[in-house]
């Protein structure tokens, strides 16, 4: 997507690396404390259990170390803001792989320890511009790690809601996840008639129509980061969020429900 390349914001690679490791560490501590009863609960994602969700959370970081162990692909093809739109097509493969991983690794803490050790070692020497092969093309390590914040934050929220726990969110990971999904909306619906505010992390303009230049925008959507992430990933319906006052929308072009979700 040409528009994705034009709109992509920059992220501090060192902060993103730290955020990925910090959020994975948060999840590892949370999973370690889960009981067998909690692990057997439905995850709310198809027919996964919480155990399978917990195993899946290691896959996102394992992908980094696995790709760094392979030869670099020949050229960069996938822009960062193209990534959210290409995830749904692999849902079946990911689901099958998750079940197999959970079945093969009954000791979740050992699985997490291995994943943490591998990614920490891999990132210690890999440069930010190192290319990684991903299903839809190739990305730099720096860009791919931004996508890992999305995977980790989204599934940390899934885990918290399914198991009734409160695994904390690393602030930088939550910020990067929020911003990437907000920018994806601006790519999907380019324009400047509607302002979407997700304080304290992101403000984007989107939707075709008259451009706002001064004063209060005529079309405004505002919500908090976790509500936005749930809307953007299909965990929460737009109408439900409005009915429960989790999002405010004012103006004739503020109904962005038809644009959601952005990724599955």
pTM (2 decimals)? 0.94
User: What is the rounded distance in angstroms from the CA atom of residue 20 to the CA atom of residue 168?
Assistant: 13
State the chain's mean pLDDT as an integer: 93
**Tens digits of residue pLDDT in 130-169:** 999 988 889 999 999 999 999 999 999 999 999 999 999 9
Fold observed for domain 189-259:
Nonspecific Lipid-transfer Protein; Chain A (3.30.1050)
Q: At residue 88, does pLDDT exceed 80?
A: no
Q: At residue 177, does pLDDT exceed 90?
A: yes
The whole-number pLDDT of residue 174 equals 98
The whole-number pLDDT of residue 3 equals 44
- pLDDT bracket for residue 108 (50, 70, 90): very high
The whole-number pLDDT of residue 213 equals 63
Q: At residue 8, does pLDDT exceed 80?
A: no
Domain boundaries, the chain: 2-174, 189-259
| Mean pLDDT score, 205-219 | 78
The whole-number pLDDT of residue 138 equals 93
189-259 matches 2-174 in CATH topology: no
| Mean pLDDT score, 211-218 | 69
**Tens digits of residue pLDDT in 35-73:** 999 999 999 999 999 999 999 999 999 999 999 999 999
Counting Cβ atoms within 10 Å, is residue 130 exposed (0-12), middle (13-18) or buried (19+)? middle
The whole-number pLDDT of residue 60 equals 93
Q: At residue 223, does pLDDT exceed 70?
A: yes
The whole-number pLDDT of residue 212 equals 61
CB-CB neighbours of 147 under 10 Å: 24
Fold observed for domain 2-174:
1.20.120
The whole-number pLDDT of residue 136 equals 80
Q: At residue 5, does pLDDT exceed 80?
A: no
Q: At residue 6, does pLDDT exceed 50?
A: no
Q: Which residues contact 67 (CB under 8 A, 6 or more apart)?
A: 132, 133, 134, 144
Output 97 or 3, whichever has higher pLDDT.
Answer: 97
């Amino acid at each position: 997507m040409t528009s994705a390349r034009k709109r992509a914001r920059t992220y501090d690679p060192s902060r993103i690396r730290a955020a990925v490791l910090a959020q994975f560490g948060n999840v590892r501590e949370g999973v370690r404390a889960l009981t067998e009863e909690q692990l057997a609960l439905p995850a709310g994602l198809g027919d996964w259990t919480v155990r399978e969700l917990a195993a899946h959370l290691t896959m996102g970081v394992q992908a980094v170390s696995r790709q760094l162990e392979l030869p670099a692909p020949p050229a960069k093809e996938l822009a960062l803001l193209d990534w959210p739109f290409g995830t749904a097509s692999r849902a079946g493969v990911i689901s099958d792989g998750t079940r197999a991983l959970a079945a093969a690794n009954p000791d979740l803490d050992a699985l997490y320890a291995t994943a943490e050790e591998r990614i920490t070692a891999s990132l210690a020497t890999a440069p930010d511009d190192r290319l990684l092969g991903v299903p839809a093309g190739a990305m730099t390590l720096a860009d791919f790690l931004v996508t890992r914040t999305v995977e980790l934050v989204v599934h940390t929220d899934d885990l918290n809601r399914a198991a009734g726990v409160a695994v904390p969110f690393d602030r930088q990971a939550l910020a990067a996840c929020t911003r990437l999904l907000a920018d994806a909306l601006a790519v999907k619906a380019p324009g400047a008639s509607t302002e979407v505010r997700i304080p304290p992390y992101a403000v984007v303009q989107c939707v075709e129509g008259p451009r706002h230049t001064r004063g209060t925008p005529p079309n405004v959507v505002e919500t908090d980061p976790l509500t936005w992430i749930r809307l953007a990933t299909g965990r929460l319906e737009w109408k439900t969020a409005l009915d429960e006052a989790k999002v405010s929308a004012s103006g004739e072009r503020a109904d962005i429900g038809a644009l959601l979700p952005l990724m599955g």
